[in-house]
Protein backbone atom coordinates (compact mmCIF):
# COMPACT_ATOMS: atom_id res chain seq x y z
CA UNK A 1 0.00 0.00 0.00
CA UNK A 2 1.38 3.39 -1.02
CA UNK A 3 1.03 6.31 1.36
CA UNK A 4 1.35 10.01 0.65
CA UNK A 5 3.31 12.13 3.07
CA UNK A 6 2.91 15.84 3.55
CA UNK A 7 6.18 17.77 3.60
CA UNK A 8 6.99 19.32 6.95
CA UNK A 9 7.69 23.03 7.32
CA UNK A 10 11.39 22.20 7.70
CA UNK A 11 11.44 20.62 4.23
CA UNK A 12 10.04 23.81 2.72
CA UNK A 13 12.44 26.19 4.46
CA UNK A 14 13.87 27.56 1.19
CA UNK A 15 10.45 28.29 -0.31
CA UNK A 16 8.78 31.68 -0.28
CA UNK A 17 4.99 31.33 -0.17
CA UNK A 18 2.47 34.17 -0.46
CA UNK A 19 -1.26 33.56 -0.24
CA UNK A 20 -2.86 36.00 -2.70
CA UNK A 21 -6.18 36.10 -0.80
CA UNK A 22 -6.76 34.85 2.71
CA UNK A 23 -10.08 34.94 4.55
CA UNK A 24 -9.41 32.46 7.34
CA UNK A 25 -10.26 33.47 10.90
CA UNK A 26 -7.90 35.89 12.60
CA UNK A 27 -6.97 33.90 15.69
CA UNK A 28 -3.69 32.76 17.16
CA UNK A 29 -4.58 29.11 16.58
CA UNK A 30 -5.33 29.74 12.91
CA UNK A 31 -2.12 31.66 12.34
CA UNK A 32 -0.18 28.83 13.91
CA UNK A 33 -1.82 26.48 11.38
CA UNK A 34 -1.09 28.89 8.56
CA UNK A 35 2.54 29.11 9.57
CA UNK A 36 2.83 25.33 9.81
CA UNK A 37 1.72 25.23 6.17
CA UNK A 38 4.75 27.27 5.22
CA UNK A 39 2.90 30.46 4.27
CA UNK A 40 5.15 33.50 4.72
CA UNK A 41 2.73 36.31 3.83
CA UNK A 42 -0.92 36.74 2.93
CA UNK A 43 -3.36 39.28 1.57
CA UNK A 44 -5.89 39.38 4.40
CA UNK A 45 -9.45 40.56 3.86
CA UNK A 46 -9.75 42.84 6.88
CA UNK A 47 -13.22 44.29 6.31
CA UNK A 48 -16.58 42.71 5.52
CA UNK A 49 -17.40 43.46 1.86
CA UNK A 50 -20.81 44.96 2.73
CA UNK A 51 -19.77 47.13 5.68
CA UNK A 52 -19.82 50.91 5.72
CA UNK A 53 -16.93 53.08 6.84
CA UNK A 54 -17.47 52.85 10.61
CA UNK A 55 -17.74 49.06 10.71
CA UNK A 56 -14.83 48.74 8.30
CA UNK A 57 -12.59 50.86 10.49
CA UNK A 58 -13.65 48.80 13.51
CA UNK A 59 -12.59 45.64 11.66
CA UNK A 60 -9.29 47.26 10.75
CA UNK A 61 -8.77 48.19 14.39
CA UNK A 62 -9.43 44.57 15.40
CA UNK A 63 -6.72 43.42 13.00
CA UNK A 64 -4.25 45.94 14.40
CA UNK A 65 -5.07 44.76 17.92
CA UNK A 66 -4.56 41.11 16.98
CA UNK A 67 -1.16 41.83 15.46
CA UNK A 68 -0.06 43.86 18.49
CA UNK A 69 -1.05 40.99 20.80
CA UNK A 70 0.69 38.31 18.73
CA UNK A 71 4.01 39.85 17.65
CA UNK A 72 5.80 36.51 17.83
CA UNK A 73 3.83 34.97 14.95
CA UNK A 74 2.74 37.82 12.67
CA UNK A 75 3.40 41.42 11.66
CA UNK A 76 1.82 43.98 9.35
CA UNK A 77 3.68 44.53 6.09
CA UNK A 78 3.35 47.35 3.56
CA UNK A 79 6.29 46.60 1.29
CA UNK A 80 8.14 43.66 -0.23
CA UNK A 81 11.14 44.52 1.95
CA UNK A 82 8.93 44.12 5.01
CA UNK A 83 7.54 40.83 3.68
CA UNK A 84 11.08 39.52 3.30
CA UNK A 85 12.05 40.78 6.76
CA UNK A 86 9.01 39.09 8.31
CA UNK A 87 9.95 35.80 6.69
CA UNK A 88 13.53 36.11 7.93
CA UNK A 89 12.16 36.66 11.45
CA UNK A 90 9.91 33.59 11.21
CA UNK A 91 6.69 35.64 11.19
CA UNK A 92 3.71 35.76 8.83
CA UNK A 93 3.48 39.07 7.01
CA UNK A 94 -0.07 40.40 6.90
CA UNK A 95 -0.98 42.59 3.93
CA UNK A 96 -4.19 44.44 4.73
CA UNK A 97 -6.72 44.35 1.89
CA UNK A 98 -10.40 44.97 1.18
CA UNK A 99 -12.76 43.20 -1.21
CA UNK A 100 -14.96 46.25 -1.75
CA UNK A 101 -14.57 50.02 -1.83
CA UNK A 102 -18.15 50.69 -0.79
CA UNK A 103 -17.00 51.99 2.59
CA UNK A 104 -15.20 54.90 0.94
CA UNK A 105 -17.31 55.46 -2.19
CA UNK A 106 -18.86 58.62 -0.73
CA UNK A 107 -15.45 60.24 -0.23
CA UNK A 108 -12.53 58.93 -2.28
CA UNK A 109 -10.14 61.01 -0.18
CA UNK A 110 -10.53 58.23 2.40
CA UNK A 111 -8.34 56.08 0.15
CA UNK A 112 -5.38 58.13 1.31
CA UNK A 113 -6.37 57.48 4.93
CA UNK A 114 -6.55 53.74 4.21
CA UNK A 115 -3.14 53.86 2.55
CA UNK A 116 -1.63 55.67 5.54
CA UNK A 117 -3.14 53.06 7.87
CA UNK A 118 -1.38 50.33 5.92
CA UNK A 119 -3.95 49.02 3.45
CA UNK A 120 -2.35 48.05 0.15
CA UNK A 121 -4.91 46.09 -1.92
CA UNK A 122 -8.53 46.98 -2.73
CA UNK A 123 -11.34 45.90 -5.05
CA UNK A 124 -13.67 48.50 -6.54
CA UNK A 125 -16.77 46.39 -5.87
CA UNK A 126 -17.86 43.01 -4.54
CA UNK A 127 -20.39 40.97 -6.54
CA UNK A 128 -23.01 43.72 -6.64
CA UNK A 129 -23.22 47.31 -7.87
CA UNK A 130 -21.92 50.35 -6.06
CA UNK A 131 -21.09 53.91 -7.09
CA UNK A 132 -17.88 52.78 -8.81
CA UNK A 133 -19.14 49.97 -11.04
CA UNK A 134 -20.72 46.54 -11.22
CA UNK A 135 -19.99 43.17 -9.65
CA UNK A 136 -20.26 39.83 -11.44
CA UNK A 137 -23.91 39.15 -10.52
CA UNK A 138 -25.15 42.44 -11.95
CA UNK A 139 -26.88 42.27 -15.34
CA UNK A 140 -26.44 44.25 -17.40
CA UNK A 141 -22.96 45.29 -16.35
CA UNK A 142 -22.90 48.98 -17.23
CA UNK A 143 -19.17 49.31 -16.62
CA UNK A 144 -16.99 51.67 -14.65
CA UNK A 145 -18.66 54.93 -13.64
CA UNK A 146 -16.99 58.35 -13.75
CA UNK A 147 -16.48 58.07 -9.99
CA UNK A 148 -14.97 54.65 -10.63
CA UNK A 149 -12.47 56.20 -13.04
CA UNK A 150 -11.51 58.67 -10.34
CA UNK A 151 -11.07 55.71 -7.97
CA UNK A 152 -8.68 54.05 -10.43
CA UNK A 153 -6.69 57.26 -10.79
CA UNK A 154 -6.39 57.71 -7.03
CA UNK A 155 -5.44 54.07 -6.48
CA UNK A 156 -2.68 54.52 -9.08
CA UNK A 157 -1.50 57.76 -7.49
CA UNK A 158 -1.40 56.22 -4.01
CA UNK A 159 0.44 53.16 -5.36
CA UNK A 160 -2.27 50.86 -4.04
CA UNK A 161 -2.88 47.59 -5.87
CA UNK A 162 -6.18 47.23 -7.73
CA UNK A 163 -7.89 43.83 -7.40
CA UNK A 164 -10.55 42.78 -9.94
CA UNK A 165 -11.91 39.73 -8.09
CA UNK A 166 -15.74 39.73 -7.93
CA UNK A 167 -15.86 42.57 -10.49
CA UNK A 168 -18.17 42.38 -13.52
CA UNK A 169 -16.59 41.64 -16.88
CA UNK A 170 -17.38 45.03 -18.45
CA UNK A 171 -16.37 46.94 -15.33
CA UNK A 172 -13.15 44.91 -15.13
CA UNK A 173 -12.36 45.63 -18.79
CA UNK A 174 -12.84 49.35 -18.15
CA UNK A 175 -10.51 49.24 -15.13
CA UNK A 176 -7.85 47.40 -17.15
CA UNK A 177 -8.08 50.04 -19.87
CA UNK A 178 -7.89 52.92 -17.38
CA UNK A 179 -5.11 51.82 -15.02
CA UNK A 180 -1.57 53.09 -15.43
CA UNK A 181 -0.12 50.45 -13.12
CA UNK A 182 -0.26 46.64 -12.96
CA UNK A 183 -3.32 45.12 -11.31
CA UNK A 184 -4.41 41.70 -10.11
CA UNK A 185 -7.25 39.26 -9.73
CA UNK A 186 -6.33 38.05 -6.26
CA UNK A 187 -8.63 35.02 -6.50
CA UNK A 188 -10.23 34.04 -9.78
CA UNK A 189 -10.07 30.85 -11.83
CA UNK A 190 -10.46 30.24 -15.55
CA UNK A 191 -13.96 30.49 -17.03
CA UNK A 192 -12.67 28.28 -19.82
CA UNK A 193 -12.38 25.36 -17.38
CA UNK A 194 -15.30 26.01 -15.02
CA UNK A 195 -18.44 27.90 -16.03
CA UNK A 196 -18.92 30.03 -12.92
CA UNK A 197 -19.76 33.74 -13.04
CA UNK A 198 -16.99 34.20 -10.47
CA UNK A 199 -14.41 32.90 -12.92
CA UNK A 200 -12.84 35.14 -15.50
CA UNK A 201 -12.77 34.86 -19.30
CA UNK A 202 -9.60 34.49 -21.33
CA UNK A 203 -9.82 38.11 -22.49
CA UNK A 204 -9.63 39.34 -18.90
CA UNK A 205 -6.77 36.99 -18.01
CA UNK A 206 -4.89 38.32 -21.04
CA UNK A 207 -5.78 41.91 -20.14
CA UNK A 208 -4.41 41.57 -16.60
CA UNK A 209 -1.24 39.92 -17.96
CA UNK A 210 -0.77 42.65 -20.58
CA UNK A 211 -0.70 45.20 -17.76
CA UNK A 212 1.97 43.15 -15.97
CA UNK A 213 -0.44 41.75 -13.39
CA UNK A 214 -1.18 38.40 -11.77
CA UNK A 215 -4.24 36.14 -11.48
CA UNK A 216 -4.43 34.05 -8.30
CA UNK A 217 -5.89 30.58 -8.86
CA UNK A 218 -8.03 29.77 -5.86
CA UNK A 219 -9.59 26.90 -3.91
CA UNK A 220 -13.19 28.06 -3.53
CA UNK A 221 -14.90 24.86 -4.69
CA UNK A 222 -17.63 26.44 -6.90
CA UNK A 223 -14.82 28.00 -8.96
CA UNK A 224 -12.95 24.73 -9.55
CA UNK A 225 -15.57 22.33 -10.93
CA UNK A 226 -19.28 21.59 -10.55
CA UNK A 227 -19.94 17.97 -11.46
CA UNK A 228 -18.06 16.47 -8.51
CA UNK A 229 -16.08 17.51 -5.49
CA UNK A 230 -12.87 19.09 -6.78
CA UNK A 231 -9.35 18.25 -5.70
CA UNK A 232 -5.96 19.95 -5.70
CA UNK A 233 -5.46 18.47 -9.16
CA UNK A 234 -8.33 20.62 -10.45
CA UNK A 235 -6.61 23.67 -8.98
CA UNK A 236 -3.39 22.69 -10.73
CA UNK A 237 -5.34 22.39 -13.99
CA UNK A 238 -6.44 26.04 -13.69
CA UNK A 239 -2.85 27.11 -13.01
CA UNK A 240 -1.55 25.28 -16.08
CA UNK A 241 -4.41 26.61 -18.23
CA UNK A 242 -3.37 30.16 -17.41
CA UNK A 243 0.30 29.31 -17.88
CA UNK A 244 -0.48 28.18 -21.41
CA UNK A 245 -2.60 31.28 -22.04
CA UNK A 246 -0.35 34.07 -20.70
CA UNK A 247 2.96 32.56 -19.59
CA UNK A 248 4.59 31.88 -16.24
CA UNK A 249 4.87 35.47 -14.97
CA UNK A 250 1.16 36.05 -14.41
CA UNK A 251 -0.22 33.19 -12.28
CA UNK A 252 -0.30 32.95 -8.49
CA UNK A 253 -1.55 30.89 -5.54
CA UNK A 254 -4.59 32.06 -3.60
CA UNK A 255 -6.36 30.00 -0.94
CA UNK A 256 -9.62 31.88 -0.19
CA UNK A 257 -10.12 29.17 2.42
CA UNK A 258 -12.70 29.93 5.13
CA UNK A 259 -10.90 28.07 7.89
CA UNK A 260 -10.69 28.33 11.64
CA UNK A 261 -14.27 28.94 12.70
CA UNK A 262 -15.39 31.41 10.02
CA UNK A 263 -18.64 29.42 9.89
CA UNK A 264 -20.05 28.25 13.19
CA UNK A 265 -22.65 25.88 11.75
CA UNK A 266 -23.76 24.16 8.56
CA UNK A 267 -26.87 26.33 8.54
CA UNK A 268 -24.85 29.54 8.67
CA UNK A 269 -22.65 28.34 5.81
CA UNK A 270 -25.65 27.25 3.73
CA UNK A 271 -27.22 30.70 3.99
CA UNK A 272 -24.01 32.52 3.13
CA UNK A 273 -21.95 30.59 0.58
CA UNK A 274 -23.69 27.22 0.57
CA UNK A 275 -26.26 25.95 -1.96
CA UNK A 276 -28.96 28.27 -0.58
CA UNK A 277 -26.66 31.21 -0.07
CA UNK A 278 -26.41 34.83 -1.07
CA UNK A 279 -25.42 34.21 -4.68
CA UNK A 280 -27.31 31.21 -6.11
CA UNK A 281 -25.77 31.63 -9.58
CA UNK A 282 -22.39 30.95 -7.97
CA UNK A 283 -23.10 28.34 -5.27
CA UNK A 284 -26.54 26.98 -6.15
CA UNK A 285 -25.61 25.23 -9.39
CA UNK A 286 -23.31 22.54 -8.01
CA UNK A 287 -24.01 18.85 -7.59
CA UNK A 288 -25.26 17.19 -4.38
CA UNK A 289 -21.65 16.69 -3.30
CA UNK A 290 -21.49 20.38 -2.24
CA UNK A 291 -22.20 20.04 1.48
CA UNK A 292 -20.83 21.66 4.60
CA UNK A 293 -18.61 18.66 5.27
CA UNK A 294 -17.27 18.50 1.69
CA UNK A 295 -17.16 22.20 0.84
CA UNK A 296 -13.37 22.25 0.56
CA UNK A 297 -11.36 20.58 -2.21
CA UNK A 298 -9.93 17.12 -1.60
CA UNK A 299 -6.33 17.49 -0.48
CA UNK A 300 -6.66 21.12 0.61
CA UNK A 301 -9.02 21.15 3.55
CA UNK A 302 -6.61 23.32 5.57
CA UNK A 303 -3.77 25.75 4.96
CA UNK A 304 -1.59 23.19 6.71
CA UNK A 305 -1.73 21.28 3.40
CA UNK A 306 -0.11 24.06 1.35
CA UNK A 307 3.15 22.11 0.73
CA UNK A 308 1.19 19.43 -1.18
CA UNK A 309 0.48 21.97 -3.94
CA UNK A 310 4.06 21.65 -5.16
CA UNK A 311 3.48 17.99 -5.97
CA UNK A 312 0.16 18.73 -7.69
CA UNK A 313 1.88 21.18 -10.02
CA UNK A 314 4.83 18.87 -10.64
CA UNK A 315 2.34 16.16 -11.61
CA UNK A 316 1.02 18.53 -14.28
CA UNK A 317 4.52 19.08 -15.66
CA UNK A 318 5.28 22.45 -14.06
CA UNK A 319 8.97 23.31 -13.70
CA UNK A 320 10.41 24.13 -10.28
CA UNK A 321 11.05 27.70 -11.41
CA UNK A 322 7.45 28.20 -12.47
CA UNK A 323 6.14 26.66 -9.25
CA UNK A 324 8.21 29.11 -7.21
CA UNK A 325 6.70 31.98 -9.20
CA UNK A 326 3.15 30.68 -8.65
CA UNK A 327 3.63 30.20 -4.93
CA UNK A 328 5.13 33.60 -4.24
CA UNK A 329 7.50 35.01 -6.82
CA UNK A 330 4.90 36.56 -9.07
CA UNK A 331 3.12 38.19 -6.15
CA UNK A 332 6.38 39.72 -4.92
CA UNK A 333 7.11 41.11 -8.38
CA UNK A 334 3.74 42.80 -8.86
CA UNK A 335 3.68 44.10 -5.27
CA UNK A 336 7.08 45.71 -5.77
CA UNK A 337 6.11 47.20 -9.13
CA UNK A 338 2.99 48.85 -7.72
CA UNK A 339 4.09 49.71 -4.18
CA UNK A 340 7.55 50.81 -5.32
CA UNK A 341 9.28 49.15 -2.38
In a domain, 316, yes or no: yes
Say how far apart CA 302 and CA 279 lie, in whole Å.
Answer: 24
In a domain, 6, yes or no: no
Residue 135 DSSP one-character state = B
Neighbouring residues of 107: CB distance < 8 A, sequence distance ≥ 6: none
In a domain, 19, yes or no: yes
Instruction: Give the pairing of strands 161-162 and 18-22.
Output: unpaired
In a domain, 202, yes or no: yes
- Structurally, the chain folds into a number of domains equal to 1
In a domain, 207, yes or no: yes
Return the CATH number at 297.
3.20.20.140
Query: Global pTM?
Result: 0.95
In a domain, 144, yes or no: yes
Contacts of 317-322 with CB under 8 Å at 24 or more apart are 317/240, 318/236, 318/239, 318/240, 318/243, 321/248, 322/243, 322/248
In a domain, 7, yes or no: no
Q: Which domain holds residue 231?
A: 13-339
> What is the C-alpha R_g of the chain?
18
In a domain, 8, yes or no: no
pLDDT by residue for the chain (341 residues), tens digit each? 333 333 333 344 579 999 999 999 999 999 999 999 999 999 999 988 999 999 999 999 999 999 999 999 999 999 999 999 999 999 999 999 999 999 999 999 999 999 999 999 999 999 999 999 999 999 999 999 999 999 999 999 999 999 999 999 999 999 999 999 999 999 999 999 999 999 999 999 999 999 999 999 999 999 999 999 999 999 999 999 999 999 999 999 999 999 998 999 999 999 999 999 999 999 999 999 999 999 999 999 999 999 999 999 999 999 999 999 999 999 999 999 999 98
Amino acid sequence: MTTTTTPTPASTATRFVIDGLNCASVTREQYQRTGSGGINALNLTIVHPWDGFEKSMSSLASTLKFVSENPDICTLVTSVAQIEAARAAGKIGIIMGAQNSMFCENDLNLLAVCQRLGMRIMQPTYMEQNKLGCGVVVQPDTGLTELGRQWVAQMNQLQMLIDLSHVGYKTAADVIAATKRPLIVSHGNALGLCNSPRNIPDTQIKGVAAKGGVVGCTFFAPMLRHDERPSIDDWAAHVMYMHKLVGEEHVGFSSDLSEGGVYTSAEQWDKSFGPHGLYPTVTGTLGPWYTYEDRRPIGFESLVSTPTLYGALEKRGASSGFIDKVMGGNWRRVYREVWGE
